[in-house]
Amino acid sequence: MAKRRDGIGHPLDRYRGFLLDIDGVLVRGREAIPGAAEALAALRGHGRVVLLTNNATRSRRGMAARLAEAGFAVAADEVVPSAYVAARFLREKHGPVRFWALGEEGLGEEMTLAGHVPTSPTAAEWVVVGMDRGLTYDKLAQALRAFQSGARFLATNCDATYPTE
């Protein structure tokens, strides 16, 4: 614990780490929230920082790159998107599975990195769903075929509404 000049440790030093949401705390859309990069750097001086997001469109690597574009120095292993959590959950509970992703690139990337195997909807054991800004009726029909073939369902987050910037 670092001591201040008055001999008293900083109040944040009593914590081992900090969990921060990304969207709305560090960035709004593609723009950094003023002062957020400095605050993040200051927190790092007092413990480990883990950045969370229920956004499954990007992988850990992709989210770190997005944050770098906004002016944050962030390593991929500091970022925990819901796609990563979903992939790890399935791995821990069911081992490697055959999946079909209804979502964007980051979801499939995290699933594959966790050892899961992408497949066709009718061969999928699991349909894993995240935000998909390119959602079509064809994709919905493919998901229906997967469910009719016995696939189970996993959502990466339960937002009842579509978040806006």
Reduce the DSSP state of residue 29 to 3 states and report it: coil
Q: Which of 13, 23, 77, 132 is catalytic?
A: 23
Residue-wise over 52-75: b if at least 16 C-beta within 10 A, else e? bbbbbbbbbbbbbebbeebebebe
The phi, psi pair for 77, rounded to 5°, reads: -75, 0
Q: How far apart are CA 48 and CA 31, in angstroms?
A: 24
Active site residue 23: yes
Q: Which of 13, 21, 138, 159 is catalytic?
A: 21
Active site residue 21: yes
Q: How far apart are CA 147 and CA 96, in angstroms?
A: 19
Look up tokens 């997005």; give the residue. 66
Amino acid found at 25: V
Catalytic residues: 21, 23
